[in-house]
């Protein structure tokens, strides 16, 4: 009888330790879910932009670019060399569009390729080329019908 009682005691201890281990694992899992990877907060799209034409000095330029009726509202954008660009992109069409800048109309070498979005707005940021000249921009979804010239002075 004494031997059976010791077996029960060992079995009870094992169950206690397993139960404690399960609680510990559950707690660690819950804590890692709470303190794990933070979800990034999206940057709100500005409702109005400070300027719609380039500034002089070449440091920072903000351009508003609208797509409507399968066309950009600007076919020429002129900026200073090396400007820090902000393009407030507003797609008013129900089909996706983007803004992409290339060295020339072959679109073989990209300078900047913006995210494609459906109807809505977003902000693109990039640095304009430092070499003056004419570059090519387009919507990559509609590469033959939505194009323009990006002039760096």
Q: What CATH number does domain 60-152 carry, 2.40.160.20, 3.30.465.10, 1.10.10.10, 2.60.40.420?
A: 2.60.40.420
- Among residues 109, 83, 87, 85, the alpha carbon closest in space to that of 98 is found at 87
- 77 within 8 A of 148, measured Cβ to Cβ: yes
Strands 147-152 and 133-138, by their bridges, are: antiparallel
Q: How far is CA 130 from CA 15, 59, 117, 135, in A?
A: 71, 11, 28, 12
- HSE (side-chain half, CA atoms, 13 Å) at 4: 1
- Rounded CA-CA distance 58/43 in Å is 25
Examine the pLDDT at 3 and tell me if it is beyond 80.
no
Task: Give the pLDDT mean for 59-87.
Answer: 97
Query: What's the pLDDT score for residue 24?
Result: 57
Query: What's the pLDDT score for residue 153?
Result: 94
How many other C-beta atoms lie within 10 A of the C-beta of residue 21? 10
Query: What's the pLDDT score for residue 109?
Result: 97
Q: Which residue in this structure is represented by tokens 């508003």?
A: 64
Examine the pLDDT at 33 and tell me if it is beyond 50.
no
Query: What's the pLDDT score for residue 139?
Result: 98
Task: Give the pLDDT mean for 70-82.
Answer: 97
């Amino acid at each position: 009888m004494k031997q059976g009682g010791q077996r029960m005691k060992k079995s009870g201890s094992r169950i206690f330790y397993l139960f404690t281990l399960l609680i510990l694992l559950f707690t660690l899992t819950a804590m890692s879910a709470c303190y794990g990877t933070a979800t990034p907060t999206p940057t709100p799209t500005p409702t109005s932009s400070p300027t719609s034409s380039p500034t002089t000095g070449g440091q920072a330029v903000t351009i508003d670019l609208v797509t409507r009726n399968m066309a950009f509202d600007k076919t020429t954008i002129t900026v200073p060399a090396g400007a820090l660009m902000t393009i407030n992109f507003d797609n008013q069409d129900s089909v996706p569009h983007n803004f992409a800048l290339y060295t020339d109309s072959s679109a073989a070498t990209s300078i900047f390729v913006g995210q494609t979005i459906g109807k809505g707005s977003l902000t693109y940021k990039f640095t304009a080329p430092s070499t003056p000249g004419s570059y090519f921009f387009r919507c990559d979804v509609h590469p033959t019908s939505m194009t323009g010239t990006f002039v760096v002075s």
